[in-house]
Amino acid sequence: MYRVHAWHDPEDRHINAKSPPLNPQQQAAVEYTDGPLLVLAGAGSGKTRVITHKMAHLIRRHGVDPKHIVAITFTNKAAREMKSRATALLQGKESRGLTVSTFHRLGLDFIRREHRVLGFKSHFSIFDSADSLALLKELTHRSDADTAAVEAARHQISQWKNDLITIEQAHQSAEDEQQRSWAQLYAAYQRALKAYNAVDFDDLIVHPVRLLQDNPEVREYWQNRTRHLLVDEYQDTNACQYQLVRLLTGVCGSLTAVGDDDQSIYAWRGARPENLVRLREDFPRLNLIKLEQNYRSTDRILQTANHLIANNPHVFEKRLWSSLGHGERIRVLSCEDGDREAARIVGEIMKHRFKHAAQYRDYAILYRGNHQARVFERLLREQSIPYKVSGGQSFFERAEVKDVVSYLRLLANPDDDAAFLRIVNVPRREIGPSTLEKLGEYAIERHISLYTACFEYGLSERLSAKALTRLHSFAEWIGAYTRRALEENPATVARELIADIDYESWLLEQSRDPKAAAKRMNNVQEVLNWMARLAKDDLEQGKNISDIVAHMTLMDILDRAEDDKQSDGVQLMTLHAAKGLEFPHVFLVGMEEQLLPHRTSLEENGLEEERRLAYVGITRAQQTLTLSFAKRRSRGGELVECEPSRFLQELPPEHLDWPDLRPPDPQESRLTAKAHIAKMKSILSNPVLKEGVS
């Protein structure tokens, strides 16, 4: 599958004894260490191999201490894969001290070390988006009915942080009353976070950047620690992350940035593809190496992708190619409506699987919006075809898991107001909304946490003796467990706490039946078992409950739910979720104007990013690719006429196959019938399949 290329260095040959050789461009990127380097890595071109081999090369060939090498990517999954590959290349011991992490994990480690300089206690909390939303509702006295308005404010504050806009700058740049009110809320929100000894997800990058900018001593320490920085998916960095990279790199410019401007599809969350271009401005000595050989797809798929993306303007030109053969033409299916589109795609999967004896996991249905999945799910269930929807409810989003994690967060940091509010009445303690509202008002006035406010004498002037007693009792109970968690094994203390509140009985009350309650309690046990494993590892390294809970919280925010690769099922996911993945057979559905490209993006001049989304979808396919569109589609309960996507017109006609323009093929009809009969036989012989998988 890989082109053979002779190795220049015997040590590199030793490093890669068990892996295919690098191609000339990959090898050049690995060996270049004379200054800053941009590796323009096309889809499927082996960029992870380049990063991991370069880490091994720096250690083996140049004698760089692993603790001075930092590799950064965007997901835990990618970081684990990268760390695993590097460790395998270096045979374990040589990789000791190597940092391979996400941006946010690196930020967490930074704040842990520099918490005193930043003005935080060691046991700070991390607020996820739900915690931030709850705090903003509290600050604005909004109810759940106003969630959309508060969410808009949260998004604006997050955008300001990602763009490194200070509170003062937000006030100065406010153009209307709405912006001014958000700027005021931004200030109140940051004060509240500080009072609660907490940071939100964006702060994990913002605080390190601000400190590195303002404190020469801290900057010198981190730049000396980071002798070589490797950054994956550079096109996805926002303004704040870009500054973090610049500050860590310093004047020496020992930076390897790997990215692809054609796969920048996250502008809605602050990503700046122009950061690739800025590298040339900030690092005049920047070297550029292009990875254009694709190891994933057939050449016909790549030529189609190249043709499409050529319609976007480019600073860096590249053209993907493959040695995997020409491959089949890209099929384009025209369907009468959305229901028939889904029925046809499901039928195509059944027919193709019957003919080629493939597994269901080899097929992926990709779409622009989550709402498009519903009709496919229904039809797959009707045909008893197992499937997996990416983006379903994650383990961490389950109510019982959030309850337990909130208790743990409160033990690690009693000033964590979001955790306090979640569990103060779980199980019920007769501490009502009125009591909590008065407690919250008092805490905000005093700039203290809810927990601390429970012990203040002044609170007695706001609450009845009964309400005050209940709050005191709860706060003292939490305080006792907090002290124990610091002195004893935190996992043991957590188990005793869950038993103390009789959480299992609470689940029985809250669940529809005992079976559902037992399933939820199993999730609780999974959290406690995970904590026990973390506690065992962390206690050996001298860490405490704060470190354990910070790790769990960050996994919650970053991981959510990862795909179970062992299960066999058709993959359903959005184009955004599909980035970084590959499948033998891809169906890219809903290729219509207003859908792909999306209506909102067209209104906001986002056509180029929509084209990049289509490009990402096409380049997920390894062997076959099918595109489909509907002539009519239901929108808001009404059937409306649809126009085929302009992107279909931008594809090279010589690589497309429009089967609907040909007379019906009797052989294809017979094959479809056989596939249905085979499916019925499998159902009758295996009753378990009747239920399907979702």
- Give yes or no for residue 290 having a pLDDT over 90: yes
**For 380-420, where are the E strands, in sequence order?**
387-389
Residue 290: active-site member? no
Cα-Cα-Cα-Cα torsion 654, 660, 666, 671, nearest 10 degrees, comes to 80
Residue 233: active-site member? yes
Alpha helices (H) along 16-75: 24-31, 47-60
Q: How confident is the model at residue 675 (pLDDT cuts 50, 70, 90)?
A: low
- Give yes or no for residue 689 having a pLDDT over 80: no
Confirm if 572 and 611 have CB atoms less than 8 A apart.
no
For 617-672, write each residue's pLDDT tens digit.
999 999 999 999 999 998 877 889 999 999 999 999 999 999 987 766 666 556 55
Structure tokens at 616: 């990402």
Nearest to 109 by CA among 220, 3, 208: 208
Residue 359: active-site member? no
Confirm if 657 and 336 have CB atoms less than 8 A apart.
no
Residue 109: C-alpha distances to residues 1, 163, 268 (Å): 40, 22, 27
pLDDT for the residue 287? 93
For 323-339, write each residue's pLDDT tens digit.
999 999 999 999 999 99
> Which run of H or of E encompasses 395?
none
- Pairing of the two strands 99-102 and 69-73: parallel
pLDDT for the residue 130? 80
* Amino acid in position 496: E
Write down the catalytic residue from 99, 263, 574, 623.
Answer: 263
Q: What's the sign of the alpha-carbon dihedral 258, 261, 262, 267?
A: positive
pLDDT for the residue 2? 28
Q: How confident is the model at residue 541 (pLDDT cuts 50, 70, 90)?
A: low
Q: How confident is the model at residue 8 (pLDDT cuts 50, 70, 90)?
A: very low
Q: How confident is the model at residue 117 (pLDDT cuts 50, 70, 90)?
A: very high
Residue 47: active-site member? yes
pLDDT for the residue 671? 57
**Residue 100 in 3-state DSSP?**
strand
Confirm if 110 and 103 have CB atoms less than 8 A apart.
no
Alpha helices (H) along 579-685: 599-603, 607-618, 646-649, 666-685
What mean pLDDT is predicted for residues 662-689?
55
Write down the catalytic residue from 54, 620, 633, 646.
Answer: 620
Q: Alpha-carbon distance 231 to 212, whole Å?
A: 18
Question: Directed axis angle between helix 103-118 and helix 203-214, to 10°?
Answer: 50
**Cis peptide, bond prior to residue 597, ω within 30 of zero:** yes
What mean pLDDT is predicted for residues 370-387?
85
Longest Cα–Cα distance of the chain, Å, equals 86
Write down the catalytic residue from 232, 236, 417, 547.
Answer: 232
- Give yes or no for residue 78 having a pLDDT over 80: yes
What mean pLDDT is predicted for residues 230-259?
89
- Give yes or no for residue 542 having a pLDDT over 70: no
Share of the chain above pLDDT 70, in %: 88
Confirm if 65 and 326 have CB atoms less than 8 A apart.
no
Question: Directed axis angle between helix 399-412 and helix 490-500, to 10°?
Answer: 120
Cα-Cα-Cα-Cα torsion 85, 91, 94, 97, nearest 10 degrees, comes to 40
Residue 235: active-site member? no
Residue 194: active-site member? no
Q: How confident is the model at residue 472 (pLDDT cuts 50, 70, 90)?
A: very high
Write down the catalytic residue from 131, 233, 261, 417.
Answer: 233
Write down the catalytic residue from 26, 47, 249, 592.
Answer: 47
Strand partners, 229: 70, 255
What mean pLDDT is predicted for residues 472-485?
92
What mean pLDDT is predicted for residues 43-54?
92
Cα-Cα-Cα-Cα torsion 356, 362, 365, 368, nearest 10 degrees, comes to -140
pLDDT for the residue 183? 92
- Give yes or no for residue 243 having a pLDDT over 50: yes
Give residue for tokens 């806009």: 165
The lowest-confidence range among 1-15, 83-97, 404-418 is 1-15
What mean pLDDT is predicted for residues 362-377?
91
Who has greater pLDDT, 553 or 354? 354
DSSP 187: H
pLDDT for the residue 319? 92
- Give yes or no for residue 209 having a pLDDT over 60: yes
pLDDT for the residue 677? 55
Give residue for tokens 């306090």: 420
